[in-house]
Amino acid sequence: MIELRAERVLVDGRAEGEVVVLERPLSLWGGLDVASGEVVDPRHPQKGAVLSTRVVALPVGRGSSSSSSILLEAVRLGTAPAALLTLEPDPILALGALVARELYDRCPVVAVLGGEAWAALATGQWATISVGGGLALASRRPLPEEPPA
């Protein structure tokens, strides 16, 4: 297991899920199907990837300020990512997550990673994010602990 820390936390919380590293930026407006959580941008190299409940690493957000409303709707429908990890602060994604927290009392974690943490990410890993930006990466989902006898 690799233990890391986010450089900056924009929207704090706990999250865990399978990591999906996007090769290119993604605009949620027109790029994400909120009903399924699937990447639908026909020009995106990971078209068809499902981001719902996953820890999504995207270098930067791309475009439209409407992406915050798309993220908000995905939270309402239960199809939002568990977390969004970026290399640069993205106020549009943070806004969508903060409004979701206010309206629905749940939202994805939004955090900025430094280069070392970013380089450690790989699609298929299992990520656990703790309050304050702690990030633990494992090669696979940990087995549930058995209760003491």
For the cut 80, the answer to whether the pLDDT of residue 54 exceeds it is yes
Give the type of residue at 11.
Answer: V
Measured between alpha carbons, how far is 44 from 20 in angstroms, rounded to an integer?
Answer: 14
Query: For residue 49, what are its two tokens?
Result: 């990837």
Confidence (pLDDT) at 63: 66
| Band of residue 130 on the pLDDT scale cut at 50, 70, 90 | very high
Choice among 27, 64, 66, 130 that is catalytic: 64
Q: How high does pLDDT run on average in the chain? A: 93
pLDDT at 42: 94
Q: Mapping DSSP to helix (H, G, I), strand (E, B) and coil, where does residue 76 land?
A: helix
| 65 classed as catalytic | no
Q: Tell me, yes or no, if the pTM score tops 0.75.
A: yes
Predicted pLDDT at 64:
66
pLDDT over 80 (residue 145): no
Find the DSSP H helices in the chain: 67-77, 91-104, 115-120
Cβ neighbourhood burial of 88 (10 Å; 0-12, 13-18, 19+): exposed
Quick one: pLDDT at residue 123? 96
Amino acid residing at 32: L
Convert the pLDDT of each residue in 59-87 to its tens digit: 887 766 889 999 999 999 999 999 999 99
Residue ranges of domains in the chain, CATH in brackets: 2-138 (3.50.30.10)
The Cα–Cα gap between 82 and 40 comes to 19
* Contact (CB, 8 A) for 96 and 72: yes
